[in-house]
C-alpha cells in the first residue's frame, strides 16, 4: 500500500534572553494528514510538550496564538515519535510532503537531541520548492499565499498545524492536476505537424 503523509509542525521561537542561550526549535504542535488512494484515511492533531526549552517565549505565543497551558497538556515528544513510526509502518511505500524543509530538519534535530531514531522512511517532498519550480517563481512562496494564488483559501487558520497540513494537501492536488493538464497539452513540434515523407515526395 502506498501512502502520502502531509505533515506540518509548529515550533518554539526564542526571545533575546540568556535563558534561550543555545536555543534550538522544538516541535510544539503536530498536524498529519494520511492519504491513501487519493483519499484522506486519517487526520491527527496534537500539542507537544517541549523538553529543552519548556517555557514558551512571548513572541512564540503571540505569533502562533498558542498558550503555555496548551503545550503543557500536550503529548511527550516520545509519543509523537511512536505515532510517526506507527503511521509509517502501515505503508509499503511512503511519501512525506511538507511545505518547506524546516519540518523534517527540526524533527531530525529533535530526534537527535532526544536520542530517538528518526521515525519516517520514504521519499520526502518539499512542496514549496516543487511549486517554485513549476511556476518559475524566483522567491519561495508562503503556504497560504500559494493557495490564494490559485484563487482558493487555506483550510481553517494559518499556523495551526493540522489546518496547514490540510492546506498543503489541497495545494498538492492542485499542482498535480496542473501537471497532468500540461502533460496532456504539450505543444506539438514541427515534426508532429508536417509529414516530411509526403513533403519530400512533392519535390522528387
Class in CATH terms, 2-186: alpha beta
Kindly list the domain boundaries of the chain, sorted by start residue: 2-186
Question: Quick one: pLDDT at residue 202?
Answer: 47
User: How would you write the pLDDT of the chain (204 residues) with one tens digit per residue?
Assistant: 789 999 999 999 998 877 788 999 999 999 999 999 889 999 999 999 999 999 999 999 999 999 999 999 999 999 999 999 999 887 778 999 999 999 999 999 999 999 999 999 999 999 988 888 777 665 666 776 777 776 666 666 777 999 999 999 988 988 888 776 666 545 544 444 444 445 445 444
Q: Among this protein's residues, is 159 annotated catalytic?
A: yes
Given 26, 79, 159, 185, the catalytic residue: 159
Cβ–Cβ under 8 Å, residues 88 and 126: no
Given 2, 4, 10, 170, the catalytic residue: 10
Instruction: Tell me if the pTM is above 0.95.
Output: no
Question: Quick one: pLDDT at residue 131?
Answer: 81
Cβ–Cβ under 8 Å, residues 48 and 70: no
Amino acid at each position: 500500500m502506498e501512502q502520502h503523509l502531509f505533515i506540518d509542525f509548529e515550533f518554539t521561537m526564542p526571545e533575546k534572553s540568556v535563558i534561550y542561550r543555545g536555543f534550538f526549535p522544538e516541535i510544539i504542535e503536530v498536524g498529519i494528514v494520511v492519504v491513501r488512494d487519493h483519499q484522506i484515511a486519517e487526520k491527527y492533531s496534537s500539542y507537544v510538550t517541549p523538553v529543552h526549552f519548556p517555557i514558551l517565549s512571548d513572541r512564540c505565543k503571540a505569533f502562533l496564538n498558542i498558550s503555555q497551558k496548551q503545550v503543557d497538556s500536550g503529548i511527550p515528544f516520545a509519543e509523537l515519535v511512536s505515532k510517526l513510526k506507527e503511521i509509517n509502518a502501515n505503508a509499503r511505500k511512503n511519501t512525506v510532503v511538507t511545505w518547506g524543509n524546516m519540518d523534517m530538519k527540526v524533527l531530525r534535530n529533535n530526534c537527535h537531541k532526544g536520542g530517538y531514531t528518526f521515525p519516517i522512511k520514504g521519499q520526502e517532498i518539499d512542496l514549496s520548492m516543487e511549486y517554485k519550480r513549476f511556476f518559475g517563481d524566483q522567491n519561495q512562496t508562503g503556504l497560504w499565499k500559494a493557495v490564494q494564488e490559485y484563487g482558493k483559501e487555506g483550510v481553517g487558520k494559518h499556523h495551526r498545524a493540522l489546518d496547514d497540513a490540510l492546506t498543503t494537501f489541497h495545494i498538492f492536488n492542485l499542482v498535480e492536476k496542473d501537471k497532468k493538464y500540461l502533460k496532456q497539452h504539450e505543444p506539438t513540434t514541427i515534426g508532429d505537424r508536417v509529414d516530411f515523407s509526403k513533403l519530400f515526395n512533392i519535390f522528387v
